[in-house]
Structures are given as C-alpha cells and as structure tokens.
Amino acid sequence: MRLAKGTRAKVVRPFTSQDRLGDVFEVAECDSESITLSRCYSDSNSYLHEHTYTMPTDEFGVFFEIIGMEEPEKTSDDRVITLSLSEDELDALWAKSTSFEHFKKKLKLAAKKKDKPPKGKRQWTPWTTHPLTGFTYSVSHPTGKSAKVKVESCGFVGIASCNPEDVWDLDLGIELAAARAEEKRARFLATKAADNYLEKMDDLHFIMNRIYGRVGK
C-alpha cells in the first residue's frame, strides 16, 4: 500500500499513551516498507508536543482510518473531503493516478458520487388483465413524476408515459403501450424473416453453384 503525501487519517486505536481517538494525522512520507505521519493540530483534540510517527506500512490500518485529502489552497469555503475508503479502494485510486494532483481530483469525484443520493427505483403494480381489451398491463404512478403503463403482448413489452401536467387516461395509455409492444414484435418478425430469406438465398446459390459446376465438368 502506498499513500500520497497529504493524505489525512484519524486515530482509531492509540499508537502511544499520548494519542487520543479521533486525533488527525497527515501522511508526510510513504513507501512500500514504512509510512511517516505528522499530527494536524487544527483537527486534533490533543495539543501535546508535536508528534511524528514512522511505522510499517502494513500496520497503518490497525491504528488509523483514512478520512480524505485537504484541498491545497485555503479559501473562504475551504473544506476537507471526509470520504471513507478502504485501503484497497485507495490503492486502486492511487494506481490509476498520474500525479498527486490527479489523485486528489479522483478523491473529489469519488466524494461527489458518494454524496449523491441514490435514485429511487420506479415501483410497478402487479401484472393485471384489462377486462375489456384483454391486455396484460402494469402501472407506475409516483407522485410528482410521469405516470407510466406497460403492456405485455406475445413476449414483447411496450411502455406509454403521461406527463404530470396532462390528464391520466389508463385506457388510452394501454392502447398506446400495446401498439408499441406490437411494433416491437413486428420488427422482430420482419428481421427474422429477412434473415431467413438471406439464409435460404445462400443455400440456393450454394446448390446452383454445385449444379452448374457439375455441368461444366
């Protein structure tokens, strides 16, 4: 494991009796054998004399947890990226980085992705048979979003949407979705027929070549 200079980590297990849980250190040097960390006074709860630790790299994860990377330039909206990454994830980011600045950019992108709220999965009703048309359909009608209805026909599914500002008409939506399902089916059959036609033509050419080849001999 190799950590970039400036990587910030907090104490999760005191390395000495003078350490406190939550004290923040910064990587000063790191190679495959050892890692040197210096205390960050601005973030530590302990204000004892300056500490600089050097330990075997493979023991880092026992005493420290990586919390992120401080932005290089102090500004009015300066902040610290507090992103929890495993050592393997951090190694992967560092391996793909071409420089220290590139590594920090990757950390920021990872932080944005982690902070981004997950998209809610659209919920659908159980498949139901329409009493008049006989189509099998399902509806998704979330609040504030476009309503949708999907229809299954001969193994193909068509979907119709309704803008939230429009009037919801289930029967019209089913007809439209069914037409789209049938369109998919028709395209599939047409493509299959075309493929069969080309295959038969190839067979015919092969047979004709054999026949005319014998006549020529």
Q: Please give the residue that has the higher pLDDT: either 54 or 49.
A: 54
C-alpha pair distances (Å), 83 with each of 65, 97, 113, 127: 10, 18, 10, 42
pLDDT band at 15 (very low <50, low <70, confident <90, very high): confident
Which residues lie across from 69 on neighbouring strands? 7
- Could you say which of 3.40.30, 3.30.160, 1.10.1740, 3.30.1240 is the CATH number of the domain covering 128-216? 3.30.160
pLDDT band at 67 (very low <50, low <70, confident <90, very high): confident
Q: Residue 67: phi, psi to the nearest 5?
A: -115, -10
C-alpha pair distances (Å), 101 with each of 5, 28, 114, 214: 11, 16, 20, 74
Per-residue model confidence (pLDDT) at position 83: 57
Q: How is residue 178 written in tokens?
A: 């069914």
Per-residue model confidence (pLDDT) at position 75: 44
Task: Compute the average pLDDT of residues 145-174.
Answer: 90
Which amino acid, one-letter code, is at 203? D
Instruction: Note the Cα 72 to chain centre separation in Å.
Output: 28
Domain ranges of the chain: 7-115, 128-216
Per-residue model confidence (pLDDT) at position 142: 79
52-64 pLDDT per residue, tens: 878 888 888 888 8
Q: Which of 9-13, 27-31, 45-49, 176-180 has the lowest mean pLDDT?
A: 45-49
162-206 pLDDT per residue, tens: 988 888 899 999 999 999 999 999 999 998 898 888 888 888 888
Q: Please give the residue that has the higher pLDDT: either 126 or 57.
A: 126
Distance CA 119, CA 142 (A): 13
Distance CA 186, CA 1 (A): 57
Per-residue model confidence (pLDDT) at position 49: 43
Instruction: Note the Cα 195 to chain centre separation in Å.
Output: 37
Residue 82 · residue 68 · CB < 8 Å: yes
Task: Please spell the DSSP secondary structure of 10-32, one letter per residue.
Answer: EESS-SSTT--TT-EEEEEEE-S
Per-residue model confidence (pLDDT) at position 127: 92
Per-residue model confidence (pLDDT) at position 45: 46
